[in-house]
Amino acid sequence: MKSFLFFLGSAIRWMGNDPSRFLYFHLYLVCVYLLTYFAKSGSSDLYRLIFTVGIIAPVFISINRGLPLDCLNFEAAIKKEFPNA
């Protein structure tokens, strides 16, 4: 749990350093929620798939663009964050 919270804090600091990505990310989430809402209100059973794929897609795109898979490794994250420690 401690490493997950560290990763979450690192992600929040990263978004604070790049506000345009932060805004695009949240705009994307709003679009996914709106598409899901319209699919559900249109009595389509596809809304569950739209929501699931829409929410998981940024994680897969990040991994494809070079997010290390050991990002939840607390010791490796500390070494990257603080090289002198």
Predicted local distance difference test score (pLDDT) of residue 43: 77
CA angle 56, 81, 10 (to 5 degrees): 35
Q: What would the pLDDT profile of 4-35 be if each residue is shown by its tens digit?
A: 777 777 777 776 777 887 888 889 989 999 99
Q: What is the pTM of this model?
A: 0.61
Q: What are the b/e assignments for 18-43, b being 16+ CB within 10 Å?
A: eeeeeeeeeeeeeebeeebeebeeee
Average pLDDT, integer, range 66-81: 70
The three-state (H, E, C) secondary structure of the chain, written as one string: CHHHHHHHHHHHHHHHHCHHHHHHHHHHHHHHHHHHHHHHHCCCCCHHHHHHHHHHHHHHHHHHCCCCCCCCCHHHHHHHHCCCC
Q: What would the pLDDT profile of 30-51 be if each residue is shown by its tens digit?
A: 999 999 999 999 877 888 998 9
